[in-house]
């Protein structure tokens, strides 16, 4: 297994019809198990970079490797499969299907991923138990586990989302401004439990935010503007 989790090599990306590339990153990599903060103002190409890493959109060949796979060579279906199996994704908000319970939302992660199902099988006898365990670890109350997601507070919803991202031990978790809807207390607390869980399962964390004040939590903090020449050239 390669120790490099994400590797960018002369990544150039522009939307069809655009005149200039949105991303132009000569070199950037994240090691397995690393927790990296990626900072960027809105409009700096953050979301695009994340959707490339998550395999929603495809870059050109040999520009982006995730977990050893050249994302430019994989088909749409293969990229979806890689995301299902190895990438947990946490949105800014609205992470959950509002009509499912917290536990059902967490086990949604294995619906499309045989690999996660298998890994849960190895560590735990009961899948619901595993989901509950993660939710409790991330600080949800026992009484909230089976409430429909739309009844939970925003903070609780983000924890459920984190539990889902961690469920079945994927190699990489991408968190796209997961704390921006939280107040300061909840934010620090959320980051702490997320860190602990990532450390425990040796999961790589790519944490994206526009809020620089979070940098002190992280081993490494990177400014997107500094690595992305497309943006810096324009400014």
Partner 1 sequence: MIRLAVASLLNRKASAWLTILAIAVSTLLLLGVERVRHQTQENFANTISGTDLIVGARTGNTQLLLSSVFHIGALSNTLSWQSYQHLQTLRGVAWHIPIALGDSFGEFPVVATSTDFFEHFRYADRQALVFTQGDKFNDAQSAVLGAEVAKRRQLKLGDKFTISHGSGGISFSDHDAHPFTVNGILERTGTPVDQAVYMPLSGLGLVHGESSSDTTHEGEHDHTHEHSHEPPVYTLSAVLLGLSSRPLALRMQRDINTYQGEPLTAIMPGMALTELWRTLNLFEKALLAVSTLVVATGLLGMLTALLSSLRERRREMAVLRAVGAGPITIFGLLVSEALILAIVGVGIGIGMLYLIIGVGGEALLANTGILLRATPLTTTEWSFLAAIILAALVLSFIPAWRAYRNALADGLTIRV
Chain positions contacting partner 1, by CB under 8 A: 47, 50-51, 54, 56-57, 76-77, 80-81, 83-85, 89, 91-92, 94-100, 104, 108-109, 111-113, 164, 176
Cα distance between residue 135 and residue 153, in whole Å = 14
- H runs (alpha helix) in the chain: 46-53, 76-86, 102-111, 114-123, 127-137, 154-166, 184-200, 224-227, 229-234
Cα distance between residue 230 and residue 68, in whole Å = 26
Output the smallest distance, CB 84 to partner 1, in A: 2
- HSE-CB of 191 using CA atoms within 13 angstroms: 23
- Which residue, 57 or 69, is less far from partner 1 as judged by CB? 57
Containing 101, the helix (H) or strand (E) segment is: none
Output the smallest distance, CB 74 to partner 1, in A: 12
- Which residue, 74 or 215, is less far from partner 1 as judged by CB? 74
- Which residue, 35 or 83, is less far from partner 1 as judged by CB? 83
- 84's tokens: 């299902």
- Which residue, 119 or 164, is less far from partner 1 as judged by CB? 164
Inter-residue contact 130 to 123 (CB < 8 Å):
yes
Output the smallest distance, CB 80 to partner 1, in A: 4
- Which residue, 39 or 83, is less far from partner 1 as judged by CB? 83
Output the smallest distance, CB 185 to partner 1, in A: 25
Output the smallest distance, CB 194 to partner 1, in A: 16
Output the smallest distance, CB 216 to partner 1, in A: 28
Output the smallest distance, CB 134 to partner 1, in A: 15
- Which residue, 58 or 214, is less far from partner 1 as judged by CB? 58
Closest among 111, 102, 171 to 132, alpha carbons compared: 102
Radius of gyration of the chain from its Cα atoms, rounded to whole angstroms: 18
Cα distance between residue 87 and residue 32, in whole Å = 13
Closest among 47, 71, 57 to 174, alpha carbons compared: 47
Q: What angle do CA 196, 178, 159 make, to 5 degrees?
A: 55
- Which residue, 92 or 221, is less far from partner 1 as judged by CB? 92
């Amino acid at each position: 297994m390669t120790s490099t989790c994400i590797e960018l090599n002369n990544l150039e990306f522009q939307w069809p019809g655009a005149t200039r590339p949105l991303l132009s990153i000569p070199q950037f990599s994240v090691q397995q198990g690393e927790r990296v903060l990626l900072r960027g103002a809105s409009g700096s190409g953050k979301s695009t970079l994340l959707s490339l890493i998550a395999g929603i959109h495809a870059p050109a060949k040999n520009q982006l490797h995730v977990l050893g796979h050249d994302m430019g060579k994989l088909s749409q279906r293969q990229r979806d499969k890689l995301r299902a199996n190895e990438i947990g994704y946490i949105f800014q908000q609205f992470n959950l299907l509002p009509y499912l319970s917290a536990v059902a939302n967490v086990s949604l992660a294995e619906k499309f991923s045989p690999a996660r199902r298998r890994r849960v099988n190895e560590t735990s006898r009961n899948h619901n138990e595993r989901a509950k365990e993660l939710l409790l670890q991330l600080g949800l109350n026992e009484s909230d586990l089976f409430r429909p997601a739309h009844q939970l507070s925003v903070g609780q919803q983000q924890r459920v989302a984190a539990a889902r991202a961690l469920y079945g031990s994927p190699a990489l978790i991408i968190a796209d401004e997961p704390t921006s809807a939280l107040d300061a207390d909840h934010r620090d607390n959320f980051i702490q439990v997320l860190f602990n869980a990532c450390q425990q399962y040796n999961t790589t964390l790519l944490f994206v935010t526009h809020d620089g004040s979070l940098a002190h939590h992280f081993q490494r903090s990177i400014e997107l503007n500094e690595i992305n020449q497309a943006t810096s050239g324009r400014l």
